[in-house]
Structure 1
């Protein structure tokens, strides 16, 4: 993370590793609110920002909603999603660079899925249409898609998916984006269309499994000094404040 979240993001990841999903939701909530209020020392969140750093705060609220769903705290998930949509719509007034409004519409759809609210399909269609409209205004969709706002909008589906893929990368750049960056509108609209097809099912899978993976940080296969006490793997993931198992997100032990 590159924003000021007061350490709550790492604490949320630590709670995921401990299978304390409601605590993780609480920590993501606190981190998200802090980022939205004061993202970086040099940034007023209510001023235009071509990078969209406040997206990292929205992403933490979105992860909070998913974590609450996995914990069985459905009412809290809904409350967090409503909060996230309200914040997202507020930032649509100020994040006005080409493509940013469409990305925020993508966030709205994600919150509707995470909070089990009505109308996620329509919201994803709206986001795709917005991308199509502004496509001619986007000089480099690849560069835009690597900004903090767009990275944040992709982070949650990636994290949820890896928990159902043995810890591997289950949602790739190619999955999220169209095949032809010269067609900027379609290239970016593919994000919304892909999520419309996959995100709700992935959230449902995490709930059914009772497991939400930690985000993928720096990883190493076949580490010789760490081993997972739960599944025996020595493939590791540096995330939160600990060295986690890449496969099941359990804190590893030295061997």
Structure 2
């Protein structure tokens, strides 16, 4: 079981496939609000309880996607509003984690910086520097940075840059684990701080490219290449991406159709 988004993430993905970025932005926002209010169908998992998983991060990732979709839709004022909301939510959640889980609190600093980049807010570089510094300062509390980076919170914080990068790479995985993390897990601070450094270098440019192209790719789900059962009517690709409730072309994120073969 993942997070409880009320079906709004699936609605957002359907809207992305239809190139209806206004609708996608709103659906992602509703998914984010739903997860932020109750991350899972479990009364023991509350958004302000600093658990080890950090399921609430998915809510912030949905708000980040909402912000990106608003930028691509050509509504920068709406994107700014969504980004400001995301920053406020991430800061609020960070306080819940700061005393007991400083390394997880640093991940919320990553989200804060991402919202700055996605929404075109001032101070993007400073926000990422703050996130990198927070990771370095929290290094002493991290036993295994690899394990921490695979928790739902940290995985959610990687979603925005991965999704934006797909649009510039024909749907392929354009941000790898090695890209996002440092080379030496024996130095937890540097290993995790590299996430902020990398996103500072990549995310603003990826946002601008998506805006220029007028296209935000769908997230990557389960994929299959060179199928004999689907072909995209828009671009002819036979690569398939099953994500949420949609069957999409892996390359262009349009709905793909079954063949008669």
TM-score normalised to structure 2 length: 0.96
Partner of 1:214: 218
Q: Which residue does the alignment assign to 2:104?
A: 100
Match for 1:170 among 171, 174, 184? 174
Whole-angstrom CA distance in 2 between matches of 1:98 and 1:179: 22
1:46 Cα deviation (Å)? 1.6
After TM superposition, the structure 1 = structure 2 runs for residues 1-255 of structure 1, keeping only pairs within 5 Å, are 2-42=2-42, 43-96=45-98, 97-255=101-259
- Secondary structure of the residue that 1:238 maps to in structure 2? strand
Number of aligned residue pairs: 255
Structure-1 separation of matches of 2:156 and 2:123: 22
For 2:170 and 2:102, the matched residues in 1 are separated by 37
* 4+ aligned runs moved over 4 Å, structure 1: none
Q: 2:13 touches 2:246 (CA, 8 Å); kept in 1?
A: no
SS at match of 2:95: coil
Q: How far apart are residue 240 of structure 1 and its match?
A: 2.6
Task: Give yes or no for contact 1:231–1:248 (8 Å, CA) kept in 2.
Answer: yes
2: CA distance, partners of 1:55 / 1:8: 16
Distance 1:251 1:189 in 2: 38
Measure, in 2, the Cα distance between the counterparts of 1:57 and 1:247.
26
In 2, the alpha carbon distance for the partners of 1:60 and 1:99 equals 22
What runs of 5+ residues in structure 2 fail to find an aligned partner?
Answer: none
1:243 Cα deviation from its structure 2 partner: 1.0
Q: Give 1:193 deviation, angstroms.
A: 0.2
Mean alpha-carbon deviation: is it higher for 167-176 or for 37-46? 37-46
Query: How many angstroms apart in 1 are the aligned matches of 2:114 and 2:67?
Result: 10
Deviation at 1:93, TM superposition (A): 1.7
Task: Give the gaps of 5 or more residues in structure 1.
Answer: none
Classify the secondary structure of the residue corresponding to 1:193.
Answer: helix
Shift of 1:98: 3.6
Distance 2:103 2:186 in 1: 15
How much is the aligned-residue C-alpha RMSD, in angstroms?
A: 0.9
Q: Distance in 2 between matches of 1:163 and 1:37?
A: 30
Report if the CA contact (8 A) 1:5-1:31 is conserved.
yes
Any idea what SS the aligned residue of 1:92 has?
Answer: helix
Given that 2:10 and 2:246 are in contact with CA atoms closer than 8 Å, whether structure 1 keeps it comes out as: no
